[in-house]
């Protein structure tokens, strides 16, 4: 049975072959169709088959036909499982086909009592990840020239336990075809009965297989939750690493229900609480060589919690804002017309708010512009408000006290303020920058649209300021250059001062005494000894002697008013050193 045949379910009890053909022939030419009826009666069993001449018509019927005389029906393309009545395919051929995706433990094609194939097969892999890869690769592909459908299987004992009437349906499966159907159609009915059992059990067989309850020991603390697993990690590889901490009851890697791929998380249960605690303690080692690693990835391991606790933790999780532009703050303080917050706001203020919002959106189109977290822009200020009043108001709004720090506060004027001149006319807005984001947010919410500050007609419009990243970088570069220049000047001055101090220390000697000069010129022996004997005394007083030193002689002239001034010496009469 190929993709030309569609399977129709949820048919009413009075459904007939003629009416079914009439409905589906509107899509395209129908090769043949029939409904499956109860044995010895005209009552429909609720399903039937329609075979088209073209595959496009079958696909279109699946999309467009939704009801049978007002009753909703389910239409799907029927693709029978592995090797429907195809004797060339054996268990060994099937095993070789699936072996390239992993280790195949068993491949079995069920047979009827007469030796004919039932039209489906079971393939068991050693690992669930390998089975998932095979499912995605082989599904709707051809094996031995026949297109097959591959899906997850359900354990027979569990299915029989939930379907008490399954055995009865299986016995009469070969007798369900309508009288007008040929032998091929009889096989279709019987094979569909085999397929109907898992379909009735669950719409998603994979979900049904995964509903197996795992041992719960949340209160005992033996189960761990593992994150940051590699998508290629298998349960065997993870088990080898965890066994060094103690014996395990199970390891379960969580798979995505749609892709059948690993989610990167897993659960593992130890037989002892001590082993689980030791594993968690080793995983918390944050050193470069510490922690537990599997397939090159450092695992994040914590104690598992119940599903109810996990939901509570998820609800309590605080949403963190990502990104460096702080765009979530751009809407802080926004008031839309028609909302409750806009009640009582003058029309002029609403027009200003609309204009400011449009301007803000235009500026934010530039990726270099971001929203400051600590700097506020306050519009709609009265003309008499100056910097001192604005600072005082913002300190009060932020709660006051020594904790609040305002690093910048300015009111914009129509001309640049200059020292000694009268300030120009206020433009009605200003900027306030806080040290902490919490204080800025508190101030914004207090000032924005507050009629109690400057009256109902002058409600402040407060918002977080927009900053240009490029301009801030240029400003920072200029400040760095100024710091470098200042530091170089300071170093030069310090070096100059140190050099002057060094020279003064080197050349510092006691001033020459007139008596000593007389003795020197007279070259008398006793007096010369007296001169050199005074040197150690000067050194004891902290003065250093380093040879001869010329001391400038300062002469002063008395003026008529009794004051003194320095005498102006005459210029030298010739160039070069003066020779005496």
Q: State the pTM of this model.
A: 0.37
Work out the average pLDDT over 500-511. 53
Q: What is the pLDDT, as a whole number, of residue 571? A: 65
3-state DSSP assignment of residue 346: coil
Q: What is the pLDDT, as a whole number, of residue 498? A: 63
Report percent pLDDT > 90 for the chain. Answer: 18
3-state DSSP assignment of residue 385: coil
Q: What is the pLDDT, as a whole number, of residue 215? A: 47
> What whole-number distance in Å separates Cα of residue 443 and Cα of residue 573?
79
Work out the average pLDDT over 503-527. 48
Nearest to 297 by CA among 229, 392, 237, 244: 229
Nearest to 30 by CA among 2, 67, 57, 69: 57
**How wide is the angle at C-alpha 24 spanned by C-alphas 19 and 26, nearest 5°?**
105
Placement of tokens 């998820």 in the chain: 314
Q: What is the pLDDT, as a whole number, of residue 499? A: 64
Placement of tokens 């007008």 in the chain: 180
Report percent pLDDT > 70 for the chain. Answer: 71
Work out the average pLDDT over 223-244. 89
> What whole-number distance in Å separates Cα of residue 424 and Cα of residue 413?
6
Q: What is the pLDDT, as a whole number, of residue 532? A: 42
Residue-by-residue DSSP string for 194-222 = HHHHHHHH-S-HHHHHHTPPPP--TTTT-
Work out the average pLDDT over 482-497. 78
Determine which helix (DSSP H) or strand (DSSP E) holds 198, and give its type and residue range: helix 183-201
Q: For 96-100, 274-278, 550-554, which range has the lowest pLDDT when averaged over its residues? A: 550-554
Dihedral of the alpha carbons of 392, 396, 401, 405, in degrees to the nearest 10: -60
Q: Walk me through the domains of the chain, giving residue ranges and CATH numbers.
A: 223-316 (3.30.70.330), 327-474 (3.30.70.330)
Nearest to 464 by CA among 435, 436, 427, 433: 433
Nearest to 512 by CA among 466, 552, 473: 552
Q: What is the pLDDT, as a whole number, of residue 401? A: 80
> What whole-number distance in Å separates Cα of residue 257 and Cα of residue 211?
12
Instruction: Please determine, for residue 391, whether its predicted confidence score (pLDDT) is greater than 70.
Output: yes
Work out the average pLDDT over 562-573. 73
> What whole-number distance in Å separates Cα of residue 292 and Cα of residue 556?
90
Q: What is the pLDDT, as a whole number, of residue 372? A: 94
Residue-by-residue DSSP string for 437-500 = HHHHHHHHHHHTT-HHHH-TTS--EEEEEEEEHHHHHHHHHHHHHHHHHHHHHHHHHHHHHHHH
Strand runs labelled E in 323-395: 369-379
Q: Given pLDDT bands bounded at 50, 70 and 90, which one contains residue 217?
A: low
Task: For residue range 321-374, list pLDDT tens digits in order.
Answer: 667 888 889 989 899 888 888 888 999 999 999 999 999 999 999 989 999 999
Task: For residue range 333-348, list pLDDT tens digits in order.
Answer: 899 888 888 888 999 9
Nearest to 268 by CA among 281, 254, 282: 254
Instruction: Please determine, for residue 150, whether its predicted confidence score (pLDDT) is greater than 60.
Output: yes
What distance separates the 2 farthest-apart alpha carbons in the chain?
160
Placement of tokens 């109902």 in the chain: 456
> What whole-number distance in Å separates Cα of residue 235 and Cα of residue 253?
7
Q: Given pLDDT bands bounded at 50, 70 and 90, which one contains residue 550?
A: low
Tokens of 85: 């009545």
> What whole-number distance in Å separates Cα of residue 32 and Cα of residue 51?
6
Question: Mean pLDDT score of the chain, rounded to an integer?
Answer: 76
3-state DSSP assignment of residue 293: strand
Instruction: Please determine, for residue 567, whether its predicted confidence score (pLDDT) is greater than 90.
Output: no
Q: Given pLDDT bands bounded at 50, 70 and 90, which one contains residue 205?
A: very low
Instruction: Please determine, for residue 569, whether its predicted confidence score (pLDDT) is greater than 70.
Output: no
Q: What is the DSSP letter of 512?
A: P
Tokens of 222: 């033996």
Task: For residue range 34-92, list pLDDT tens digits in order.
Answer: 888 887 788 888 888 888 878 788 888 888 888 888 888 888 765 434 444 455 678 88
For residues 398 and 404, is the Cβ–Cβ distance under 8 A? yes
486-492 LR contacts (CB < 8 Å, sep 24+):
none
Count of all residues that appear for the chain in the document: 580
Q: Given pLDDT bands bounded at 50, 70 and 90, which one contains residue 538?
A: very low
How far apart, in Å, do the first and last CA atoms of the chain sit? 134
For strands 223-227 and 262-270, give the pairing. Answer: antiparallel
Q: What is the pLDDT, as a whole number, of residue 58? A: 83
Nearest to 180 by CA among 360, 1, 368, 21: 21
Task: For residue range 398-428, list pLDDT tens digits in order.
Answer: 988 888 999 999 999 988 767 777 778 889 9
Q: Given pLDDT bands bounded at 50, 70 and 90, which one contains residue 319?
A: low
What contacts 337, CB < 8 A, 6 or more positions away?
A: 350, 354
Cα 267 → chain centroid: 24
**How wide is the angle at C-alpha 163 spanned by C-alphas 85 and 156, nearest 5°?**
55
Nearest to 1 by CA among 112, 78, 111: 78
Q: For 32-41, 214-223, 546-555, which range has the lowest pLDDT when averaged over its residues? A: 546-555
Q: At what angle do helices 128-138 and 91-99 cross, to 10 degrees?
A: 100
């Amino acid at each position: 049975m190929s993709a030309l045949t569609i399977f129709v379910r949820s048919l009413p009890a009075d459904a007939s072959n003629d009416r079914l053909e009439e409905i589906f022939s509107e899509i395209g030419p129908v090769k043949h169709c029939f409904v499956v009826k109860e044995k010895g009666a005209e009552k429909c069993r609720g399903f039937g088959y329609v075979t088209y001449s073209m595959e496009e018509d079958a696909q279109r019927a699946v999309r467009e036909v939704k009801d049978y005389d007002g009753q909703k029906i389910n239409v799907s393309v029927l693709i029978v499982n592995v090797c429907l009545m195809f004797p060339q395919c054996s268990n060994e051929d099937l095993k070789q086909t699936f072996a390239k995706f992993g280790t195949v433990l068993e491949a079995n094609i069920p047979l009827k009592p007469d030796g004919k194939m039932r039209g489906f097969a079971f393939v068991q892999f050693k690992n669930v990840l390998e089975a998932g890869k095979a499912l995605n690769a082989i599904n709707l592909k051809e094996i031995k020239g026949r297109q097959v459908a591959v899906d997850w299987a359900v354990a027979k004992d569990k299915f029989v336990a939930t379907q008490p009437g399954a055995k009865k349906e299986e016995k009469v499966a070969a007798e369900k075809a309508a009288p007008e159907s040929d032998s091929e159609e009889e096989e279709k009915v019987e094979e569909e009965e085999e397929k109907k059992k898992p379909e009735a059990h669950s719409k998603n067989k994979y979900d049904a297989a995964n509903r197996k309850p795992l041992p719960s020991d949340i209160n005992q603390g033996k189960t761990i939750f593992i994150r940051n697993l590699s998508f290629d990690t298998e349960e065997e590889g993870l088990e080898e690493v965890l066994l060094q901490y103690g014996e395990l009851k199970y390891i379960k890697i969580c798979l995505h229900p749609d892709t059948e791929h690993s989610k990167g998380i897993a659960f593992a249960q130890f037989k002892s609480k001590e082993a689980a605690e030791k594993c968690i303690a080793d995983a918390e080692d944050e050193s470069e060589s510490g922690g537990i690693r599997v397939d090159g990835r450092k695992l994040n391991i914590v104690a598992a919690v119940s599903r109810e606790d996990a939901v509570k933790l998820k609800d309590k999780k605080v949403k963190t804002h990502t990104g460096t532009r702080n765009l979530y703050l751009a809407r802080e303080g926004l008031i839309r017309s028609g909302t409750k917050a806009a009640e009582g706001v003058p029309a002029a203020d609403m027009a200003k708010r609309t204009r400011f919002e449009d301007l803000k959106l235009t500026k934010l189109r530039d990726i270099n512009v971001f929203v400051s977290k600590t700097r506020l822009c306050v519009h709609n200020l009265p003309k008499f408000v100056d910097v001192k009043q604005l600072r005082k108001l913002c300190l009060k709004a932020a709660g006051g006290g020594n904790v609040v720090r305002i690093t910048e506060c300015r009111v914009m004027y129509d001309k640049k303020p200059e020292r000694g001149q009268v300030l120009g006319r206020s433009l009605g807005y200003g900027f306030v920058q806080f040290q902490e984001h919490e204080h800025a947010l508190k101030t914004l919410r207090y000032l924005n649209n507050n009629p109690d500050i400057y009256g109902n007609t002058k409600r402040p419009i407060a918002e977080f300021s927009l900053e240009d990243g490029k301009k801030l970088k240029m400003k920072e570069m200029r400040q760095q250059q100024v710091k470098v220049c200042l530091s170089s000047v300071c170093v030069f001055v310090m070096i100059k001062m140190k050099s002057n101090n060094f020279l003064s220390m080197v050349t510092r000697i006691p001033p020459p005494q007139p008596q000593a000069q007389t003795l020197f010129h007279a070259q008398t022996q006793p007096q010369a000894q007296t001169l050199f004997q005074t040197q150690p005394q000067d050194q004891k007083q902290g003065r250093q002697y380093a040879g001869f030193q010329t001391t400038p002689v300062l002469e002063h002239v008395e003026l008529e008013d009794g004051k003194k001034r320095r005498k102006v010496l005459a210029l030298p009469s010739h160039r070069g050193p003066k020779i005496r």
